[in-house]
């Protein structure tokens, strides 16, 4: 059975001002979801993903929390324009930044708006399991801590099970490796969840690995796509992309995804997470073969029908044609 990757109208029930630059949008959305997943929202034709801050185990409504990004198109538009009663278009929830079936401690390391999926995971783990939970929440200063009151309330309700440690740059400086070492106490028997700015996550990941954490137990959610690899050398073969009635053909390049080829061809293809989770960039292969590096979004029957995630798909033959649906 093919999954539903389309867009659905969803009404905004409530808008909550969390901090000066962060708002939670409470949605009238009948979707089931797993803690840690995200929605992809379409605003004026532009797609952006936003994680749920709500928990399917404890919150009646689905909520997503959006921080203004200076100069950013969609986050600012949502803050400046959306009010209760407005309708936005969104996909169903997607993503693999989810809890495992385990009794191991959950240790979350987050920075800024990275608390959004972490809060969803933490609320769910506390309500649905016996797992101990620890959070290191890094922020610029006290006024920028999102969910400060909510976290304090959860810690009070789960004494001995939830520890929340706030790290403030204006008091403590930036998070460093010794901070991570001290926070974990060298204990790496846990599932680690990382979400925040890229340099913060890089630091946390390398500190955890240096402490001996198992790479397979470090889960990372990236809000920005990994830096685009420079294209490799041109090689024999072509990629033809059809989008909105326009057809462009470019030479294949080593290590280049179909999405990158489409951009290089001057097209503006749809994309969002660029990690193989959301299916926003899906398109159908009508000629040749495309191999995906990661596929956490398409079902086997969709792949059998020729659908690929273009952000993860590389041509595996000399001539490839890929068609984006209108
Ligand atoms: C899986 C996933 C989950 C996410 N969850 C959340 C969440 O829960 N909460 C949240 O707040 N965000 C989340 N994000 C991030 C979110 O999707 C957006 O990336 C973010 O809101 C910025 O989007 P924007 O349209 O406002 O900014 P954009 O317009 O994309 O701009 C981003 C940055 O690029 C700069 N920029 C834009 N155009 C140019 C240009 N031409 N030249 C130079 N610089 C430029 C802007 O100034 C800005 O600094 C998530 C992302 C992913 C992939």
The pair of structure tokens assigned to 42 is 């379409």
From 158, 188, 221, give the residue that closes a domain: 221
Within its chain, how far is the Cα of 179 from the centroid?
25
The percentage of the chain sitting over the pLDDT mark of 70, rounded to a whole number, equals: 98
Instruction: Kindly state whether residue 99 falls inside one of the protein's structural domains.
Output: no
On whether both 187 and 149 belong to a single domain, the answer is yes
Mean pLDDT of the chain: 94
As a whole number of Å, the CA-based R_g of the chain is: 21
On whether both 143 and 177 belong to a single domain, the answer is yes
pLDDT greater than 80 at residue 229? no
d(CA 154, CA 168): 20
Q: Does ligand 1 come within 6 angstroms of the Cβ of 65?
A: yes
**Contact status, residue 63 vs residue 28, Cβ threshold 8 Å:** no
DSSP 187-229: ---SEEEEES-HHHHHHHHHHHHHTT--GGGEEEE-SSPPPPP
Q: Does ligand 1 come within 6 angstroms of the Cβ of 226?
A: no
Q: Which numbered atom of ligand 1 lies nearest the CA of 278?
A: 1
On whether both 252 and 307 belong to a single domain, the answer is yes
Instruction: Kindly state whether residue 97 falls inside one of the protein's structural domains.
Output: no
Q: Does ligand 1 come within 6 angstroms of the Cβ of 50?
A: yes
Structurally, how many domains does the chain consist of?
3
CA–centroid distance, 69 to ligand 1, in Å, is 6
Q: Which numbered atom of ligand 1 lies nearest the CA of 69?
A: 26
Q: Does ligand 1 come within 6 angstroms of the Cβ of 49?
A: yes
The model's pTM is 0.89
On whether both 180 and 239 belong to a single domain, the answer is no
Question: What single DSSP character describes residue 92?
Answer: P
Q: Does ligand 1 come within 6 angstroms of the Cβ of 43?
A: no
pLDDT, tens only, 259-276:
999 999 999 898 888 888
CA–centroid distance, 307 to ligand 1, in Å, is 27
Q: Does ligand 1 come within 6 angstroms of the Cβ of 69?
A: yes
Beta bridge partners of 88: 10
Domain that holds residue 179: 106-221
On whether both 240 and 154 belong to a single domain, the answer is no
133 φ/ψ sector (left φ>0, alpha ψ -120 to 50, else beta): beta
pLDDT, tens only, 293-305:
999 889 999 999 9
**Contact status, residue 203 vs residue 194, Cβ threshold 8 Å:** no
| pLDDT mean over 13-28 | 98
On whether both 29 and 84 belong to a single domain, the answer is yes
| pLDDT mean over 128-141 | 98
- Give the pLDDT of residue 228: 66
pLDDT level of residue 1 (50, 70, 90 thresholds): very low
pLDDT, tens only, 64-85:
999 999 999 999 999 999 999 9
- Give the pLDDT of residue 277: 84
């Amino acid at each position: 059975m093919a999954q539903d990757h389309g867009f659905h109208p969803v009404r905004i029930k409530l808008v909550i001002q969390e901090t000066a630059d962060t708002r939670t949008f409470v949605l009238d959305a009948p979707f089931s979801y797993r803690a840690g997943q995200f929605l992809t929202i379409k605003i004026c034709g532009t797609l952006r993903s936003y994680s749920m801050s709500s928990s399917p185990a404890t919150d009646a409504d689905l909520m997503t929390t959006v921080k203004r990004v200076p100069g950013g198109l969609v986050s600012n538009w949502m803050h400046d324009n959306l009010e209760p009663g407005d309708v936005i278009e969104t996909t169903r929830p997607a993503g693999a930044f989810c809890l495992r079936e385990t009794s191991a401690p959950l240790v979350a390391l987050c920075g800024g708006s990275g608390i959004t999926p972490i809060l969803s995971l933490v609320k769910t783990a506390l309500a649905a399991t016996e797992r101990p939970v620890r959070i290191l929440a890094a922020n610029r200063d006290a006024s920028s801590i999102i969910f400060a009151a909510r976290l304090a309330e959860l810690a009070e309700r789960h004494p001995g099970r939830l520890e929340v440690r706030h790290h403030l740059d204006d008091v403590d400086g930036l998070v460093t490796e010794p901070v991570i070492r001290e926070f974990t106490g060298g204990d790496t028997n846990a599932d680690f969840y990382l979400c925040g700015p890229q340099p913060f996550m890089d630091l946390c990941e390398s500190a955890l690995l240096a402490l001996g954490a198992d790479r397979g137990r470090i889960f990372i959610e990236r809000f920005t796509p990994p830096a685009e690899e420079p294209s490799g050398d041109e090689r024999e073969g072509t990629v033809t992309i059809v989008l909105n009635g326009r057809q462009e053909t470019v030479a294949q390049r080593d290590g280049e995804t179909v999405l990158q080829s489409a951009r290089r061809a001057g097209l503006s293809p749809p994309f969002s997470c660029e990690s193989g989770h959301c299916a926003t960039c899906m398109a159908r292969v009508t000629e040749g073969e495309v191999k995906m590096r990661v596929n956490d979004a398409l079902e086997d029957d969709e792949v059998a029908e020729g659908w690929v995630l273009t952000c993860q798909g590389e041509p595996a033959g000399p001539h490839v044609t890929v068609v984006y649906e209108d």
